[in-house]
């Protein structure tokens, strides 16, 4: 498996269902309006009060922003995510405030807003530089990214070494990869580091994770290896539910003219 192949497995419908469930649960546990990203978006809005939410997901930020009077363009490629997003838009009667675009970023349309932002999305892009440049082309006041500081696929390390010992563990783009890219493009961004203690849900339900990991490990057609994987996930479950530190970088800059 090539280093980039993890994307096709991680972005499949099974993983999107897991992610959507986790995002919905997170939104119910924490008020999105108190998050640093929400506050950053609100602080950079001016008269138009318009924003582009790239990878809007289930609407965790798009919905409260729209309720606060912001006109949102919500870009979301996943059918599973959009299903939850559209349901929330209908429930809150926000169809005039949120325009949903079913697309990867960059989109084909010319979009314009005061602020564009993306929360843990750029790591899925095959061309992060073009991702950023497309943000700048669409934005008049501020571009904002939330990115992981620590490796999001770190949970794979132990499993990968057992099943694919001769291959490098897949890795997502993190802050240490992205910030030098921005500097190379002449973008000197403000950075705020957020540290949170939260429960890890990655291994909370082995039955949900097994198919995703089996795709990544290419063992789906091997019943013996599948059983071995399930046993390993069950053994790791209790550890996976422990508190862990999550470090996030909020990267913010004024688009270059």
pLDDT of residue 184: 96
- The string of pLDDT tens digits covering residues 219-242 is 889 999 999 988 888 877 665 555
- List, in order, residues 6 or more apart from 210 with CB less than 8 Å away: 226, 229, 230, 233
pLDDT under 50: residue ranges of the chain: 1-4, 9, 18, 20
Report the pLDDT value the prediction gives residue 4, as an integer from 0 to 100. Answer: 44
Mean residue pLDDT of the chain comes to: 85
Tokens of 70: 């912001």
State the maximum Cα–Cα separation within the chain, in Å, rounded to a whole number.
61
pLDDT at 159: 85
Angle between helices 156-163 and 206-217 (to 10 degrees): 50
Residue pair 186/256 in contact by the 8 Å Cβ criterion: yes
Query: What whole-number distance in Å separates Cα of residue 145 and Cα of residue 34?
Result: 17
pLDDT digits (tens, 9 = 90+) for 148-179: 998 877 777 888 889 989 888 878 889 999 99
Which domains can be identified in the chain, with CATH numbers? 3-150+172-199+244-253 (3.40.50.150)
Would you state the pLDDT for residue 27? 53
For residue 250, the model assigns a pLDDT of: 97
């Amino acid at each position: 498996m090539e280093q980039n192949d993890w994307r096709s497995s991680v972005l499949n419908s099974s993983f999107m269902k897991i992610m959507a469930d986790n995002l919905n649960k997170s939104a119910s546990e924490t008020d999105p309006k108190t998050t640093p990203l929400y506050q950053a978006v609100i602080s950079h809005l001016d008269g138009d009060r318009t924003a582009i939410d790239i990878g809007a997901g289930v609407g965790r930020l798009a919905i409260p922003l729209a309720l606060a009077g912001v006109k949102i363009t919500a870009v979301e490629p996943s059918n599973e995510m959009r299903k939850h997003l559209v349901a929330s838009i209908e429930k809150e009667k926000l169809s005039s405030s949120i325009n949903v675009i079913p697309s990867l970023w960059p989109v084909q349309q010319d979009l314009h807003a005061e602020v564009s932002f993306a929360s843990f999305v750029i790591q899925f892009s095959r061309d992060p530089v073009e991702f950023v440049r497309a943000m700048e082309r669409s934005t008049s006041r501020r571009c904002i990214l939330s990115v992981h500081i620590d490796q999001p696929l770190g949970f794979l390390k132990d499993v990968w070494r057992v099943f694919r010992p001769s291959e490098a563990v897949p890795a997502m783009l993190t802050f240490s990869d992205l910030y030098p890219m921005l500097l190379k493009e002449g973008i000197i961004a403000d950075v705020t580091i957020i540290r949170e203690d939260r429960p890890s849900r990655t291994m909370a339900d082995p039955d949900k994770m097994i198919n995703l990991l089996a795709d990544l490990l290419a063992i789906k057609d091997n019943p013996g290896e599948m059983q071995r994987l399930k046993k390993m996930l069950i053994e790791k479950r209790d550890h996976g539910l422990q508190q862990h530190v999550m470090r996030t970088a909020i990267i913010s800059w004024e688009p270059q003219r």
